């Protein structure tokens, strides 16, 4: 082996040992909710330490996710617009909104007129 090969191997080893702990320290991401019940739980968990007004809005939204998805979608949009959200709160709101949009789109595709109205209202805000 030449000196260049040895030097490259040593440098690679040092760099690998230096940066591997940094790369491995990324906080594990919470999986996106797959059901309305999981979205409700994610919202309640993320907002349990929020200020009382924001917590109340999140709790009301969480309760509406299963019963009134169109209403919950609008509430999630309003919550997501808040600039003071933590990254966990923002992620919970956005992931819940994505789940609701998916469910509402599926219902609209099956001919649900309420779902179609909800999608129209959502598109009007974009």
Q: Is the pLDDT score of 14 beyond 90?
A: no
What span, in angstroms and rounded, lies between the C-alpha atoms of 62 and 33? 13
Which percentage of the chain shows pLDDT scores above 70? Answer: 76
26 has pLDDT over 60: no
> How wide is the angle at C-alpha 40 spanned by C-alphas 46 and 49, nearest 5°?
25
Report the domain count for the chain.
1
> b/e map of 81-92 (b: 16 or more CB within 10 Å)?
eeeebeeebbbb
Q: Is residue 56 part of a domain?
A: yes
- Phi and psi at 63, nearest 5°, equal -65, -30
Residue among 126, 26, 51, 47 at smallest CA distance from 92: 47
Per-residue pLDDT tens over the stretch 55-112:
999 999 999 998 999 999 999 999 999 999 999 999 999 999 999 999 999 999 999 9
Q: Which residue has the higher pLDDT, 89 or 121?
A: 89
Q: Measured between alpha carbons, how far is 106 from 97 in angstroms, rounded to an integer?
A: 14
Is residue 61 one of the residues assigned to a domain?
A: yes
Tell whether 15 is covered by a domain.
Answer: no
Q: Is residue 111 part of a domain?
A: yes
Residue 106 lies in a domain: yes
Task: Report the alpha-carbon angle 47-51-53, nearest 5.
Answer: 95
Residue 103 lies in a domain: yes
Q: Are 46 and 58 in contact (CB under 8 A)?
A: yes
The Cα 8–Cα 31 span in angstroms is 39
Domain of 117 in residue numbering reads as 36-124
Residue 9 within any structural domain of the chain:
no
Is residue 75 situated within a structural domain? yes
pTM (whole model) above 0.85:
no
């Amino acid at each position: 082996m030449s000196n260049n090969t040895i030097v490259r191997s040593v440098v690679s080893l040092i760099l690998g040992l230096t940066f591997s702990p940094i790369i491995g320290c990324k906080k594990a991401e919470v999986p996106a909710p797959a059901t309305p019940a999981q979205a409700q739980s994610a919202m309640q968990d993320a907002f349990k330490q929020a200020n009382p007004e924001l917590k109340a809005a999140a709790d009301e939204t969480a309760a509406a996710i299963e019963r009134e998805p169109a209403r919950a979608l609008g509430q999630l949009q309003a919550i997501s617009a808040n600039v003071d959200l933590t990254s966990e709160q923002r992620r919970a709101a956005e992931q819940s909104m994505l789940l609701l949009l998916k469910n509402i789109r599926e219902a609209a595709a099956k001919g649900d007129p309420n779902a179609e109205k909800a999608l129209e209202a959502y598109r009007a805000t974009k």
